[in-house]
Chain A
Amino acid sequence: MTQTTRPTVPARTERVGTIGTPGNAMFASRFRPWLLLAPALLLLAGLLLWPLIRVVLFSLQDYGLREIVSGTSNYIGLDNYAEILGDPTLWTAALPNTVLFAAASVVGTVVFGTLVALLLRSLGGFWRGVLGTVIMVAWAMPAVTGTYVWVWIFDADGGIVNRTLMGLGLMDQPVNWFTNPVTFYAIALLNVVHHGFPFVAVTVLAGLLGVPKEMLEAAEMDGAGPIRRFFSVIVPSLRQVFAIVIILSTIWDFKIFAQVYLMPGGAGSNRQVLNMGVWSYVESFGQNRYGFGAAIAVLLTLFLMAITVVYVRTILKEEKNA
């Protein structure tokens, strides 16, 4: 773990001219990489780290509109966190919705994306191009637009799904799919998978094309069927690709916001479908409780970091054992 994060220090033998004393040389060679990295690190610190620190600072305050106007701070320790952890909304709605939905969408996105990648690999150049372009459209569609399309498809009164089901005689009355949390999130799942699978497909396809043909042929000669070939040859050689794809999907699907917020009832009026992102937003910008909202965001971040760390470690361990 630590080895991967430490910047590689150039070997001493590499040191280059213009350096006077040996002590100076050591100093220079040690700090040169940091010096070269400094602009990028400063930029990152300014753009990423500082806002993150601010959010943490806000989360320790009772920070509202009055504090914004007057510019004062108002520290209250960990009260916000205590309130969140004691709030039934967290345990009965926000957390389970967020976790279950993220799990389902990561699995859905990765499985579907991989299947599409396998299909793409088996296609010829022309059709691969066509299909590749088509799925890119799904990826390029803004989340907001995509959400409205799905909402429209499932609209209770005029939506194509209800019309079809009623036309087939499977339902007598239109159903509002958005009031039930399970169907609500099923629609959100379709939306998120539809929007997220192209990235997985393209990334996995790139990996697939790197798997040596000889290896697969050899496996086939040994009598391995397609499923066996996939799990015993392809998956092990694509481990890193899958790691990236799964980690990124997890992060994206955990902090899902627009796709839920924009669905009917998703902005807070249907309490059973609240997730962490919407809850944080409603508390911050609706209630002007920026501190409380920030605390929810911090918890979400910590949760995500924990998952990512655990996941990265398992992957690395497997790598070592393999």
Chain B
Amino acid sequence: MKKRVLAGAAVVAGALLLSACASGQTDGASGKGETLNVWIMEGTNPDSDAFFSDVKSEFEKETGAKLKIDFVQWADAHDRFVTSIAGGTTPDVAETGNTWTAEFADAGGLLPISSYVEKSGLEKDLVEGLEKSGSYDGELYGMPWYAGVRGLVYRADVFSELGIEAPKNWDDIVAAGEKIKAAKPDMIPFAVPGNAEMSAYPWVWGAGGEVATEKNGKWTSGLDGEKSREGLSFYTGLATRHQFSSPGATTWKETDVLDNFVQGKVAMAIQGSWTPATMIEKAPDLKGKIAATTIPGKDGGISPSVLGGSHLSIFNTSKKPELAWEFVKLMTTGKFAKEWASQSGYFPGQKSLVEETMKSTDPLVAPFAKQFVEGGSALPVSPRFGAVQAKQTTNAMIQSILSGQQTVEKASTAAADEMQKLLNQK
């Protein structure tokens, strides 16, 4: 448990960082007349055009090279990476989702960047969870860029109208749900989506269970453990036993939860730190009516939630690795990293910058920052975990419980078996 929770609070920061920032003197990467090809995922930042035109001119000023940025939809990205690797049309640098980096590194598509990071003196200033998921076989392949975390988002207006406090433990959630169910029969007190694995893991960890652990190179899934089952049965019980969710939610994805929250139908849900901005953008009348808190632990405290995010990776087919690194550094440190994070509602991948965010008092930022530092957790770091996600092992488990096809015991046993098999596959 300890090792999973990020030690971000105890940031060493300071001197190292300053020296890193000062090294803007671009050691030998003069790129006059060169063009760097970059893929960035679309949909993270609602307004990225202005940001990237700033980046372009800054990059040209620093290195003399031009920047060509292609935006790729998250949903198509994995396939596009694979086809571009096969066809030899990879970009120089790409944003890679943090569960993909190890997978592409394992396949031999990425350039190891540990030496660059050390040369720039950044190795001690990376957010731990992102550094871990960007590493493979002791080498760093993905430079931490930004990360997000999920917390409990709720309707502040409904809570204050009914005199409910933000839940601090699991019993509080049930009590709040019952009150909302009684007073607002048209609302979904707590959305339990069946197609959103990231909303399910906090309950497993919060009850003291494990998703999967490695020992001597062999993975064991803990989903069928007693504590995991307790967490899963509490979470699914919110829908099946307490009827806080809706039948439709059985097949909802995380984005469906967001849509319904925006439509004002949902009172409590697990949502990412990047969503409140989107919610208010889509439904301006929700401004001031949304609040967030850390996901409560069973008897208080915090249920850890998954730290999701992105790396910037350099493909090993790139003919200008030095120039590529200059770009990566420009994006992931200092001014641009900070700006990107604050615009998109994510946290920067640089520890010292997260420290600054921690000081925020914004009620829609501070709880997530707390969850990020004290209750941020990583999924099993294995190039094979992408396969588990693609197989929808966890979703299948939750969905079959919610739809009543299987009991928690049966579903978790099947999921644990499948996860173990996939993780241990060569």
The yes or no answer to B85 lying at the interface (CB within 8 A) is yes
A156: contacting residue among B246, B386, B422, CB under 8 A:
B246
Q: Is A64 an interface residue (CB 8 A)?
A: yes
> Bound complex: CA of A176 vs CA of B249, how far in Å?
9
Q: How far is the CB of B231 from chain A (nearest CB, A)?
A: 19
- Asked if A286 and B387 make an inter-chain contact with CB atoms under 8 angstroms apart, the answer reads yes
Residues from chain B with a CB closer than 8 A to the CB of A179 are: 250-251, 399, 402-403, 405
Chain A interface size band reads: 20 to 34
Whether A282 lies near B195 (C-beta < 8 A) is no
Cβ of A269 under 8 Å from chain B: yes
Stretch at the interface among B102-110, B111-119, B340-348, B350-358: B102-110
Within 8 A of A (CB), among B59-92: 78-79, 82, 85-86
**How far is the CB of B64 from the nearest CB of chain A, in Å?**
32
B85 touches A65 (CB 8 A): yes
| A37 CB, min distance to chain B CBs, angstroms | 32
A125 CB, nearest partner CB in chain B, Å? 46
Whether A64 pairs with B107 at a CB distance below 8 angstroms is: yes
The reply to whether A287 and B396 contact each other, CB–CB distance below 8 Å, is no
- Say if the beta carbon of A255 comes within 8 Å of chain B: no
- Cβ contact of B396, chosen from A65, A269, A288, cutoff 8 A: A269
Among candidates B109, B390, B405, residue contacting A282 with C-beta atoms closer than 8 Å: B390
Residue B247 is within 8 A (CB to CB) of chain A in the complex: yes
Known contacts A66-B106, A268-B392, A270-B396: does B82 contact A288 (CB below 8 Å)?
yes
B-facing residues in A259-289 (Cβ within 8 Å): 264-265, 267-272, 282, 285-288
- In the bound assembly, the distance between CA atoms of A64 and B395 in angstroms comes to 24
- Cβ contact within 8 Å between B247 and A267: no
Shortest beta-carbon distance from B259 to chain A in Å = 11
Q: How far is the CA of A41 from the CA of B211 in the complex (A)?
A: 55
A285 touching B108, Cβ below 8 Å = no
Contact flags A46-79 to B (C-beta < 8 A → 1, else 0): 0000000000000000001110111000000000
* A265–B194 touching, CB < 8 Å: yes
In the bound complex, residues from chain B placing their C-beta under 8 Å from that of A92 are: none
**Contact in complex: B390, A286 (CB < 8 Å):** yes
Is A156 a contact partner of B82 (Cβ separation < 8 A)?
A: no
Is A256 an interface residue, CB under 8 A from the partner?
no
* Contact pattern, A 144-169, Cβ under 8 Å of B = 1, otherwise 0: 00000000000111100000000000
| Chain B residues in 8 Å Cβ range of A158 | 248
Q: Give, as a whole number of angstroms, the nearest-CB distance from B43 to chain A.
A: 19
Is there an interface contact between B391 and A287, defined as CB atoms closer than 8 Å?
Answer: yes
**Docked-complex contact B251 and A265, CB < 8 angstroms:** yes
In the complex the two chains form, what is the Cα distance from A142 to B13 in whole Å?
55
**Across the interface, do A271 and B400 meet the contact criterion of CB distance under 8 Å?**
yes
Contact of B399 among A156, A173, A270 (CB under 8 A): A270
| A176 to B246 CA separation, bound complex (whole angstroms) | 9
Does A155 lie within 8 Å of B400, measured CB to CB? no
Find out whether the CB atom of A68 lies under 8 angstroms from the CB atom of B247: no
Considering the chains assembled together, what is the distance between the CA atoms of A174 and B400 in angstroms? Answer: 18
Q: Which of A70, A156, A285 contacts B248 (CB 8 A)?
A: A156
Q: Which B residues between 233 and 289 are near A, CB-CB below 8 angstroms?
A: 246-248, 250-252, 260, 265
Identify 5 residue pairs between A and B in the complex whose beta-carbon atoms are under 8 Å apart, listed by A's number.
A179-B251, A180-B403, A265-B195, A268-B392, A285-B82
* Pairs A-B, 3 closest by C-beta atoms: A286-B390, A156-B248, A264-B251
Interface residues of A (CB under 8 A from B): 64-66, 68-70, 155-158, 173-176, 178-180, 264-265, 267-272, 282, 285-288
Query: With A176-B250, A269-B195 given, can you name 5 additional A-B contacts, CB distance below 8 Å?
Result: A65-B107, A265-B251, A285-B79, A287-B390, A287-B391
